[in-house]
Every structure is written in structure tokens, then in C-alpha cells.
Structure 1
């Protein structure tokens, strides 16, 4: 695998005419360490997959371990497929045809795939219907969305005004708050997620300690000379005395807003002295107690909403006879925990366990692995590549295993075979000061010659001085700061120069921190005429062709929806010009019957004055199509309705004639596929699909563009850093580095030990209860 590395060792497993495999000393040591549990800390691009493949093969051929006696788990289905294929090829190279065939049924896959195999083998013991299915992510999201509506409706009816007030305070953030907390608690191991009961300390605050501290501070200041700071401190202590005067045991508890408005925490901190310090600490403690007291009702309401959502979601899955990914893990963990005999039987099945991306596991997955482990777990990962915290991965699992294993069982891969030495030198210089002792310098495993020009360029955009109109690029929904649009344009200009210099567009990738930035850079590149291909992200539902298709379906379902009807008329489904649309809209308003009535009048021949004859013909044809299709709309799937409209109107020809037409049309085809999948899961329901798609759009659900010969498409790729993990490109642009860290942390946080922190919206963001 390694060419020209100074530290190499040949693979001891070779057939007569098999190509020689060479490994670095670090890689060879990891391959040979097949006794006892091991931890391999592998830097990016260090050849860890090659190590896993060779370790698997040598265990089979040298240690006489059966192909089906090795459990190899990876993070994604794609990675599992690649690992299986590399195992098969390597065994074929070595003349082991029979064993290569056995890899088709080998225990190589994702943790979810493994759990599904276990549960299908033991459905009765696990308490499951043997015919259970596994929900894909899109279907699980639909079931969860329906469960949310059911839960919210029942919760609001049960609690009345307090529930409505809380829902109003959190707004559209209430749904992700509850659903994210539900997912986090399940990943932490809760089968039926619950928020913790408020602690006894969260009862009615006792102001006695604060009152005594205030008195002592006031006495300490009594003899001080007047001045700005002393007078300010005295005023604060006097205000505190006034606040506490009416705090009888059964009296009202001040809100955090009232305490903040009174400024009772200030003033004394500017003065030295034990008494003032004691007052400040007593005030902070009292303020937190008041916050906790006022947060308790909200926590109780949220807990009930969480329970209702969990029950509705579980009921939705039961109706389908299905499990989601979290269910697979929880049922498997519980199966092993309930029956030591079954756990032992499954554990003894595997002579070797190998887990990739160990830094991205969660606690439930760890429970499963530990149930199977017999001092035979080979865990591979890198704590600095732990980037899936938003999916509830827990990097402390990696650190804990490293801390518990003996030093001789911890191995490292430090050589990087993806990047050239000048690139790695820059990365080492940047990140070594940031990570300190945790950072392992990246060492070049390649010895290729230097290319002309710098290996790393830094494009700087001054954040000051960009006062252009916000809407010029149509990007106000994506970025508020004009300098970010300037940065996108500057990067697009540089990429265009790179392409003019001979690079293909497909050799370039743009990486961003967040999916919200993808559209910003995509539009800037398109302005420069650079072909683009967005992988993942939330931009799919905002693409013009997707909106065209939804507008047509919405107009079909309800032609009195004038926004949808105007969208369909303006799209290539009809192709009406803006003048014709304005004329029609005005005619509809004058008659009082609306746009649909005006369109029907054009079809019937009564017409609309001042319309161009060609426009009238186009509008009449579209009105006829809409009227005839409405008769079939309830009987046929949205996919068929869209397909027929595309053919009847020549929509595809109009789109394919545009720049990047293939990709644009592929996005509409993907909408048809999503409609087919919705029909298969939910039944034929035009309005239901429109509601689902509209909800996905409003919630900015992650949905990537349609794949269009993705591997061979000559276009600049745009993706998040998460999506790019493990990929290689000759030219990599890491954009968006000036963007500040996320402030989008959930108002409700779950700690590792099961505690919950709540930021209460009604308290101006200052409330928290644990």
C-alpha cells in the first residue's frame, strides 16, 4: 500500500503470484497485535482500512479464524460495503476463492445492521414480531412528525393556557427541542425517555443567607468614604433590602428578570473585602434558586410533552410493525442484559471484534460491544476526528478505553498518505497549539515531488466595508453579513482561475462548517459559470425545479391556492410571462372570483382583456391540463401526476435546454421518487405528500441533491466537513472559517450522568434547572 515509505514491512501472507503488500512499521505492528483487546489511534489518511483488511485476512489465514467468526463494524453502509469488497479482493489475490465467497455472508456491517441480524435471530426473546421491518431515516422522520402533531394536540388540550404560553415562548423551536432531547436520551440508554424529577433544592428559595450577607456587607461599607463605586454598592444593597423586605415564607418568589432589572448582582463586586464577596456569592445562589423555582413548571410540562411524543412515536412504529435505528440498539442491549446465556452464546460466536470510528460510538453501542467482548476488541478511531456529537456520539468512550488499556495495547498510525508534506506542515503548525498534548503531528507517508506554486493559500476577506444591498444575490435567508457573500465570491473567483489553469471541476471540493452555508457558495460559483454538485445539506427543497413540482401539485390539489397557482403558471409547466400573470391577477380581483376563475375564463373563451394571443393559448392549454388532471388527482400517485405533466407541457425540454439542465431535471425526478416512497409508506395521498414536502422545506430538513452520475460528474463538489470524511480531492477549499461558533445549542441539554439543563425561554434565556 505504501510506496517509498522509509519504514516498511512486507506482508507475511502472500500467494505465489499475489502482488506484494508493504506496510509501515506502525501498520505492521497493529496488524500483528491480534492477542487481547487493542486500541488503534489512527490519524487521518493513515491507512487504517488497509490495516483492518490485512488484520482480518491474517486472522483467517494464519490464526485459522473462520470468516464468520470475525465481527467487523463500521460507521456507514457505504464504508461497510467498501470494507467487504476489499476483503473479498484481498482473499482472491491470495488464491482463497472459497473464503472470498464467504465474505458475502460475513459479519461485516454497521452496528445497526448487526443489531438487526441479532434481533431477527432472536425475535421472541427480544419481544418482537418476527416480521419486523426497519424504518429508513426518511420514513422515521415522517412517523415522528405525525407523532409530534398528535402529542402536541393532546398536550395543549390537557394543560390549556400554561402549555400554550410555553409553546408560544419557544415557538417553532419547541418541536426540535423535544425531538432532539428524545433522541439524546435514547442514545444515552433510556428506553422510555424521561426528564429527571426536580431536585429538592429546586423548592422555594430561602432568602435568609442572602439577607444576612447583605447586612454584613452594608455594615462593612458603613464607614467607607463616598465615591462612585461605594455609592453604587450602597444603592445595590439598599435595593436588595427592599426586595427582601416582603419575602415572607409564603410570599412570591422574584423572577430572574426582576432580579436582573434591579441590578442586585453588581456594585459590590467592584469592591474588595470578604463581606462583599460573600454577598455576591449569596446573591448568585439565591438568583439561581429563583430561576430553578420558576423553571420547575416548565420542566414538568416539557416532561409530559416528551412522554406524549414518545408514546405517539412508539404507537406509530407499532402500527407499521417497525423499529427505528435507536430501537435496534436498545432491544439488542436489553436482550443481552436480560439473558446472560444468550449474551454468552453471541459472545462466543466471535473470535475477534473490530470496530472502526470508535470515537463516534454512544453509550448503548458501547454496552452492546462490552457484552460481546472477551478481551478481543480491536477499536480503531481518532478523538480529534470525533465530529458527530450532534448525533449523540460520545468521544469520552474513546478516551476512557485509552485510559484503561495498558500502554502496550495502545497503538498509533501517524503517517498520512493523502496529503503532501507542505500541506501537513501547515496543519501541524495550526493545530498543535490548539490541541496541545492531545495532538499527534501528522507525518507525510508520501514522497512525491513538490508541485509548482504554494501548497496552501489563505484567502482573506475583510469583514468591514461591505455595505451592499442584502438582497442582491438573493441570499438573505442564508447569510446576514455582506462580508460572507464577498468571501463566497472571492472563493468562486479563485476556483474559476484554478479551472482556467487546467484543473477539472470534478477535482475541486468546497467544504463548509454548516449545511446552511452550502447555498451561499453554490450561488457564488454558479455566478462565475462553474458547475456545482451539492452533496447533502438542506438546500434540496429550495431548488427551483423542486418548488415548480410542488407548486404544480399544490395547484392540482387546490387551485384556489393562488400562491401555488401563480408558481405553477410562472414555471415551465405553463411558461406565462409576468405581464400575463399581473393582468390575470388584476382581472381576478376585479371580478372578485380570483385567479382560478380568470384562468377558467381564458379556457372557456370569455378571455381576459389585453392578453397577448400566444399567452392566452399557453394559459388555456394549462387550464385544460389542470382541469382534466384534477379529476384523476385523488386516484393516482403524485409521481404519475408529475410525470404526465412533464410530458404534456414539455417541461423537461425547457429545463434540459438550460445550463446544468441534467442536474436540474434530476432534482425533479428525485421529487417523483420521494413521492413514490411516500405512497409506499403512507398510502396514496396527494395532500398528505404536499404537507410532508412543505414541512420538510419549512424545517430545512437535510436532503441532498439528486445524484447524477455522481462519481463521474465534472462539477465542483460542495459539502460539509462531516460529509467529506474519508474522501480525497486534489484541490480542497475550506471555506467559512471566519464564521463564529454555533449559538444553536438546544435549550434543553442532557448530560452524561442523566442530568438535564433547561434554558427557559420565558426567562429571557437566563433560566436553567438541573
Structure 2
């Protein structure tokens, strides 16, 4: 009889080896599972086996950790489908009953990422962890913005202290050596490397290098790191936030408590981990403590699945050496059961055999190498093919085209893209569906070339993920516009905006602008440049008065940009991109209270970081279309036909030009500078540690790049096509040693497989018997690629037909001694204890509550039902469950607010605006002080006949009207002052009245403040605000508690 939970979601039973692993439960088990071997099937079956055969276990007994939330959702879906089938068709009644029980509890099952599990653990043991259980988790980009902001503010405050102190001395030292901007950048990077630093400290290893080798600047840098780390922690506490690193580090610390560990183990009996190769040292420390690997009496069993050959996420701190070391210790030290899954059910036999032949020569671990080097390489796990090819014809193609050095990069890429398009036409004419084909790129930087080629050949396509939505032409154009507002000295942003369809100047004009030779520019082109300058100047004025979205909608109307891009190929997709950019810009600026400059930095972090935001899908995006995506995005997927282009463009890692390099094994190194601020050359004896760490980083990244090629190769089910352009003078047949390395992927493939390029199109045999179709010129079926249509003007610049100005020599004079501007949110002016005040003793944050009240008033929903409350909660990003818990209070507060006299005044005003963002600049008191951008949001602002009115409804739990007045004077005065001054600056308001309405009182109390105050003017109020901000900045300088 077939056991139903030992089948996949389609009812197919596991093979004998998979089934044996799925039911194994007598010891810790580690599985090294090759591509296409069914590791997820085994993991799901093991999960179901544990819970179906132990009817006294609840779903909490089994913790399942996945690499992404998406993978967790997919795993839950697989589990659900199997359980549904058992509940519906199970042969035994007790099976059906148990399956239904598990289905009912599945939504509560601890299946998710290691971060979500740690967050759950910290909330459960919040008192022991010394945190507020209602903390919010900052995503990577929110944390990135906050880190930069903290470092910038702390360093500026430190160097501007009036009196000498240890803090001022170390801050002055790093600014002297590195300059202000560079010092901020280094400190920000150190904060990002906090898990590595804490791990090294826990093992008594230095942050940078041995104390005896530290220079003065490096000693100061280590001290400054401790200060900014504490300042960063303070900033997070003020918003009740934890970043992803906090979740791991705090959970690690929590589990070091013996009593906590025992309590956790009484709740969780099994720990299952998928994609184990993508963990880091801290995560494995957490798993070790959870399971008690070093404790013989622990009853918690571990079940881990991974594949070191597919470890490709170092940019997310994944460390392949962790898996390799655990695999070795599992057998030699722990005595675990360690098994391999090596039958490939995905790819046909020739694809598997050639992969075996190639990668057993690429994945080499030399016993003569240092142990640390051996750990970052992988030993090849040979695959066994399950699928036999029905037809005896090549299912692998190599299209390796020669080029001359005179050809530009764009000409090479254009030739590749055209060849691929022609080949896709041939494949689809022979019955292959477009949706069966995937083009996998190392990154989407040059995806526009393929987009253009596919369009010209009439091939439907869809671009998925990659470097992300902000890499699309439309997002880049709109971002360039915002950048010239926020950073007017950024010439690259100016050139990008001028060249975009918004302005439309030619490359020749850009060249002459760079040279300063305006006489060479035609009158028409000069008119475009002048118009751009006027638009920019007007936009700067508007930026202080309107929201980011309104600013973008204004530039669209002025330039007709949306009309222009709609006329381009894929016009509907481009319009969708514009709409998404407007929506995301508004959401990001609202959510993080960012100015235009902050939004630009956030988007830049998106493009430079690991986050991936896909293009918005259009209706029909899932129809028959070629899929273009990054190899990272394709991880875990499979396609009948896989095309991997641009092999010649994926280069080996180069020496770092950054200020800081890091490696999990060798630590962190900072580039050293001389007294003139010039970076020392790599060969300098003082750069030995930097050189050592950087060399190890290069080796690590080279090894990961090889694994990335393996992942791309093994996505193919039926057909694999590798495409690349190579130099005609390239020497063939000279395999590279590990020391000399390879120049690019194309060279790696040619040399490893001894591909006989340059001998014409033909069918060859590699690895003794694998047939490969070899192309060596950009043509299909003997015909040269032809241009079917004239090239649109919008893409001419990519083809090398117009001279592209050299922008590499641009120099930017950045301030070395101080920042140019400091950004402060209105909430920063308030006493810190008020940032997290509670509402009437309830756990609901006052901010959330206030947002919902203002939204209900805005939409005039005065007696909301449950559905309306849920909708409003979703609209403002509040916790729906908490909102429903306080529904009665909400209704009461809304009615009180609506009946207040100030609400009636606002409704009768000639202008009344809700939730209006503002940004106003406080002018400098002296040349030594940077400008200050004050940002915030008016919940309700109205223009009356006698002046402007600003209303803020407060839900504070005050006991009397007198306490409400005291609250305003002690807590909200600076908020009111900032609101009023911003209204004066933005709307030129001569008089402003700020009214706080305390709706928690049965008779709401209105506290009114008039600005400017009697016998004072707006200049004095600006000075007071400046002094307040200065005092807050200096007040942030505190010594670390645990130095």
C-alpha cells in the first residue's frame, strides 16, 4: 500500500532513496542534494511523516526554516495539497481525520525564514530578551537609510563639539584621515557588517587586524564603530524597530540561556532546514543551540537539506564554508547520518553528462591548499541522469562568436541578441512554446539589448526581477529627474536626465556640454538645455510645497514623458512602470518620511543592494512569452529551454577599489591613506592586510561565480544554449589553473571542455559521446542576421553609431569636513519618551491609532463597520487585528473629533488638505553649520480668512483638560513650532494656529497655539528651531556602555 504522505502534491510516490530519507527519524540527518534530485519533495514528505505518525504532536512541534518567505509559502502550499488529498481520499479514517486537523492548524505552523522564526522567538520571550514585543522589523532598505542617517548625524555632532573629549578626538582623527563623506561611508559599512564583527568578537578575533598592527586612524575607527553602533541601537529603540541582524544576534544571545533553551525544546521537537548552503555562521550557531548538537541529552533532532554547489547568495551573507564545515563535522565529530541525493530527474542525459564532465574539472579542491581555501570551494557531486533523450540529436548548443577589438561592446551584445532571437524563431517554428524558453542573465544591466532584439523580431517576452524595477528606463529617467533636484552637483544625473526622452538632447550635445564648448551646440539643442534648467528650478520650488507624487505628476505633464514612452515598443509595460514608480515613490517617502534626496538614496540602495523588485506584471504576463530573468531569480526553477548569453561579459572578480573589504574568514580591512588623503597603492607594505583580505575575497567570489554558472546550466530540462563573443586572438586549448584563473565565463567553458572554436558551424562530440551543435558566427541556418526594421531613435545610443561622451573623468567636489545638509523629522524634535507612548494603556501604538482616525475623518466615515475598518487599516498600513480590537474606542474617538469645533472650522475653510507632506529648509546661522531640512506631515491643514489652521488629533490618555494643556507645553510645543514654521515657509502664511484635540477625554479638549508668538517673529522662531536641533544632535553623543 502506498503511504499517501510519502507522495508529492500530484500523488507521485517518492523513489526508494527519497522515501528512506523521508521516514528517517532516529538521528540528526544532513542531505547533500544535487539539482533536480527532489530535495523539496523529501523535506515535505519528512514533515508530513512526522506529524501524520505522531498524532499527539501539534504543528508547533516541527519548525521548518526556508531561505525566503516565498519558498515558505510554496512549501505550505505543497503540504496543504497533500493533506487535502489525504483528507478527501485517504484509505484510513484516522488518516483523513488527522489530515484535516493539520490542515486547520497549518496557517499557524512555524514555517518561514530564520528571521521570522527568530522574531517569533523574541516576541515569545520578550521580557527575557529585554525588548518590546510589539517591535517592527525594518527591512534591509529601511535599515540602510537609518544606518547612513545615524552615522552622518553622529559624526557631524562629534566633530562640532565645542570642547575636547575622547569622542571628539577619535571623530576628528577619522575625518582627518578619510574626509567626512568617506568616514560616514566606512562607518555605515561597518554597521552593515555587525554580525561578522560580533561573531569575530565572540571568538576573540580583532575587527580589523591585530592591535599591534593598527594605525592611529584604524584605532579611532574601531572606537567610532562602538559609538555609532550604540547610536544606531538608540535610533531603533526610539522607533521600536529591529533590523534583520538584530533578530539573529538577539536570538543567538537569548538561546545562550540554559533555561530558555529547555523551554524552547519542550515546544519544538524537530528542526527542518531547507537551502542549508545559504546560511551563515550566526545562523548555524542558533541552530546548534536549538538542537543541542553539543549536548548529548538533547532530544531535538535536526534535518538539513542543501547543496554546496548551488550556494550563490554571498550578497545576503551566505557562506558556503559553513555548509562544507558542517558536512565534514557531521560525520567525523557528531556521528550524524549524512546522505547524498544525486539522481537528476530534471535534465536529459546529455545535459547532465556534459555538466558532470565540465564541473568536475571546475569544482576542484586541492589538498595542498590552506584549510580556509578548501572550505570555500566545493567538491563536485556527480549526478546520475534519470531522463533519457528520445532523439539522437544535439540538445546542447554553443554559439561562440569571434569579434575584433575594434567592435564595441554594444555591437557584440547586439549580435548575440539578434542571433538568439533568430534561434528562438526557429525553435518555436518546430513546436517549442515561447513560455518554455528562459533567457538567464548574470544581471539585467544590459537587458534592454535583448528587449530590443526580441521586439524587433516579433517575439513576446516578459522581464522578471533581476536588478529590479529601478533598472527600467522609465524608473531611471524619473529617478534622474529627482536626483538633479536633490543633488544639483551630480553631473552624471544631469546628463542622464538631459539624454532621457523628457528633454531629449543628443549625445553630441552632452559631449560639448562636458567640454564647455557651447558654440558647437545648435540653437535647438541649446533651447532644450535651457528648458531643462527652467524646469529644474521650478521643480526645486515645488519640492517644498507638494508631495513627491505630485512633483512627478507635474514633470510628466510638463514634458509629456508618459505620452512619449507610450509610443515606444512595449508601451503598455512602460506606462505600468511609470505608474508603479509614482506609487512606490509616494509609499516610500510616506513610510520613511523621506525628502526627495532621501528617496533618491533609498532607490540607489535598492539598485546597489540585494533587494529585487520586479516590473509590475501586465494582464497576460503569464501567457505564451519568453521569460528574461537573472540566474538568481531562476534558482529553484526549471525550463524546457534555457539560453545563457553574454558569457564573455561575466568577468572574473577584480581587485577592490572600495574603502573597505570584508571576508568571513579573514575579517575586515580598511584602505589606508596618507596625510594628503590619497589612497595608498595596493603594493604598499602598509596595505598588506587589505591585500590579503581582498585576495581571499576574490577567490571566494570567483568560486561563487563558477557555482552560478552551474546553477544556470542545471535549470535546463530539454535544451541548453550557451552564447558568448570571444576575441579572435584568444588562445584555445589552454586550461587555466586555479592560480592563474579564468578571464570570463566564455574562456572558462572553452578551456574546460576544449571546445574547437574557429572551425566553422558543425556538430561536435564532447566528453567522449555528448553531441553539441557549435555555431561560430552570428547567423542562423547560414544567413547573416538582418535588421528587420529601422532602429528607433530611443535606442540608437546603445549601438555604437553615435559617439558616447566619456563620463569616467568627472570629478565631484564633495565636502570633506562637514555634510552639506542634515535632515530632521519633526518627530525627532519631541522628547524621546514620547515617540513610543501608549494609548490609554493599550498596546496599540498612538501613531497607528491616529493614522486610522485621520483617515476615517478624511473619508467622512464616522460610524465605520468592520469591513471599512479593515480597508482603512490596510490603506494606512496599520495592524488590522489591533484596530479591530479597539473598534469601539475608534468609533467613539472619531465621533468626538468630528463634533469638535476645530473640525467644523477646517471643513468650512476655502482650502483644506489632509495628510500633506512638507519639507522646508532652515537657513544657516553661520558658514560652519550645514543647512537643515525639516520634514514632516500635516495631518490636516486649512486656509481660513484670518490665517492658516493646522489640526492634530491626539489619543493620549490624559485625565483632565489641565493635563492636556500641560502635555502640549511639555511635549508637543516643538512639534507645533515646526508645523507652523513649515506652513509659513511653504505657503508664506503670515499667521498660523496649531490646534491639538485630545479625543480620549469625554469632552474633547482643544489646545490652541498661535504663531508667531506675541512679541516674536518668524526669524526668532527659526532660530529657536535651529538651536533645538543643534542641542539634540549634541545630545546624541554618549559613550558606549560596554566598551
Same fold (TM over 0.5): yes
Matched residue, 1:689 = 599
- Unpaired runs of 5+ residues, structure 1, are 1-8, 203-294, 474-481, 591-608
Aligned-residue offset at 1:405: 3.4
Does the C-alpha gap of structure 1 residues 81 and 120 become closer, same or farther in structure 2, counting only changes over 3 Å? same
Tell me the equivalent position of 1:72. 64
Report the CA distance between 1:386 and its aligned residue. Answer: 1.7
SS at match of 1:377: strand
Counterpart residue number, 1:99: 102
State yes or no: 1:656 paired with 2:566: yes
TM-score normalized by the length of structure 2: 0.53
1:112 matched residue in structure 2: 115
Paired residues for 1:22-61 under 5 Å: 22-61=13-52
Taking a change above 3 Å as real, the CA distance of residues 713 and 142 of structure 1, as seen in their structure-2 partners, is farther
The 5 A counterparts of 1:190-201 are 195-196=207-208, 198-200=210-212
Q: Distance in 2 between matches of 1:563 and 1:399?
A: 44
Greater fraction helix:
1
Q: CA deviation at 1:736?
A: 3.9
Match of 2:322 in 1: 397
The whole-number CA distance in structure 2 between the counterparts of 1:678 and 1:19 is 41
Deviation per residue, 1:272-308 (Å, 9 max, x gap) = xxxxxxxxxxxxxxxxxxxxxxx63343244245345
Q: Secondary structure at the match of 1:730?
A: strand
- Please report how far the alpha carbon of residue 52 of structure 1 lies from its aligned counterpart in structure 2 after TM superposition: 1.3
**Residue 439 of structure 1: which of 368, 380, 384 is its match?**
380
C-alpha contact (below 8 Å) 2:155/2:184 kept by paired residues: no
For 1:595, the equivalent position in structure 2 comes to: none
* Distance across 2 between alignment mates of 1:500 and 1:54: 41
Question: CA–CA distance in 2 between the matches of 1:178 and 1:97?
Answer: 50
What is the DSSP-based 3-state SS (H/G/I as helix, E as strand, rest coil) of the residue aligned with 1:763?
Answer: coil
Alignment equivalent of 1:145, drawn from 134, 144, 148: 148
Residue equivalent to 1:544: 473
Q: Deviations over 1:386-436 (max 9, x none)?
A: 222333223333233333335771222111122111211111111123336
Q: Is this contact kept in 2: 1:492–1:525, CA < 8 A? A: yes
Structure 2 spans left out of the alignment, 5+ residues: 88-98, 161-168, 292-298, 366-378, 674-678, 693-1043
Report whether the alignment pairs 1:86 with 2:78.
yes
After superposition, give the CA deviation of every residue in 1:544-578 in whole Å (9 maximum; x if it has no partner).
312332355567789999998997788666x7787
Pick the aligned partner of 2:243 from 317, 320, 324.
324
Equivalents in 1 of 2:641, 2:681: separation in Å? Answer: 45
Q: 1:179 to 1:668 in 2, by over 3 A?
A: farther
**SS of residue matched to 1:22:** coil
The corresponding residue for 1:425 is 353
Cα distance change on mapping 1:517 and 1:764 into 2, 3 Å: farther
Q: Aligned with 2:401: secondary structure?
A: coil
Q: Distance in 2 between matches of 1:434 and 1:108?
A: 36
Aligned equivalents of 1:559, 1:752: Cα separation in 2: 39
TM-superposed deviation, 1:56: 1.2
Q: CA RMSD in A?
A: 4.6
Contact 2:278 2:320 in 1 (8 A): yes
C-alpha contact (below 8 Å) 2:316/2:610 kept by paired residues: no
Aligned residue number for residue 411 of structure 1:
339
* 2:364 paired with 1:455: no
* In structure 1, C-alpha distance between the alignment counterparts of 2:505 and 2:124, rounded to whole Å: 62
Q: In the alignment, which of 367, 384, 393 is matched to residue 285 of structure 2?
A: 367
How far apart, CA to CA, are the structure 1 residues paired with 2:10 and 2:625?
A: 35
- Alpha-carbon contact 1:355-1:379 (below 8 Å) kept: yes
CA contact (8 A) 1:167 1:174 kept: no
1:158-205 superposed Cα distances (whole Å, 9 cap, x missing partner) = 5557644445998998578645544533566769997256344x4xxx
Q: Identify the match of residue 386 of structure 1 among 292, 308, 311.
A: 311
In the alignment, what sits opposite 1:478?
Answer: none
CA 645–160 in structure 1, closer or farther in 2 if over 3 Å, else same: closer
* 8 A contact 2:30–2:338 mirrored in 1: yes
**Cα distance, 1:336 vs structure 2:** 1.4
Distance 2:184 2:12 in 1: 56
Is residue 150–residue 228 contact of structure 2 (8 Å, CA) maintained in 1?
Answer: yes
User: How many residue pairs align between the two structures?
Assistant: 629
1:422-453 deviations in Å (ceiling 9; x for gaps): 21111111112333693222122335x53574
2:233 is aligned to 314
Query: Residue 768 of structure 1 corresponds to which residue in structure 2?
Result: 688
Structure 1 CA distance for aligned equivalents of residues 131 and 283 of structure 2: 20
Residues 763 and 26 of structure 1: CA distance in aligned 2, closer, same or farther (over 3 Å) = same
Q: Answer whether contact 1:518 1:539 (CA < 8 A) is retained.
A: no
1:680 to 585, 590, 601: 590
- What residue in structure 2 maps to residue 511 of structure 1? 440
SS of the aligned residue for 1:509 comes to strand
Q: Secondary structure at the match of 2:346?
A: coil
Q: Which has the higher strand share?
A: 2
Q: 1:440 to 1:129 in 2, by over 3 A?
A: same
1:19, 1:93 within 8 Å by CA — same for their partners in 2? no
8 A Cα contact 2:152 2:184, kept in partner: no
Q: Check 1:436–1:10 CA distance in 2 against 1; reply closer, same or farther (3 A cut).
A: farther
What's the CA shift for 1:67?
A: 2.1
Question: Does 1:336 find its partner at 2:255?
Answer: yes
SS at 1:35 equivalent: coil
Q: Which structure 2 residues correspond to residues 610-621 of structure 1 after superposition, within 5 A?
A: none
What is the Cα deviation at residue 42 of structure 1? 0.9
**Matched-pair contact (CA < 8 Å) for 2:585–2:599:** yes
Deviation at 1:113, TM superposition (A): 0.5
Taking a change above 3 Å as real, the CA distance of residues 173 and 145 of structure 1, as seen in their structure-2 partners, is closer
Contact 1:541 1:703 in 2 (8 A): no
Contact 2:151 2:188 in 1 (8 A): no
Distance 1:47 1:548 in 2: 44
Find the counterpart in structure 2 of residue 708 from structure 1.
Answer: 617
Report 1:241-390 matches (<5 A): 296-337=215-256, 339-373=257-291, 374-390=299-315
Residues 557 and 633 in structure 1, CA contact (< 8 A), matched pair in contact too: no
Go from structure 1 to structure 2 and tell me whether the alpha carbon gap of 1:13 and 1:721 turns closer, same or farther (over 3 Å shift). Answer: closer
**Helix, strand or coil: the match of 1:58?**
helix
Indicate how the Cα distance of structure 1 residues 196 and 83 shifts in structure 2: closer, same or farther if over 3 A, else same.
Answer: same
The answer as to whether partners of 1:186 and 1:192 remain within 8 angstroms in 2 is no
Q: Pick closer, same or farther for the CA change 1:317–1:736 going to 2, 3 Å.
A: farther
SS in 2 for 1:53: helix
Does the CA-based 8 Å contact 1:758-1:768 persist in structure 2? no
- Length-normalised TM-score, structure 1: 0.70
Is 1:741 the equivalent of 2:652?
yes
Q: Aligned equivalents of 1:117 and 1:417: distance in 2?
A: 37
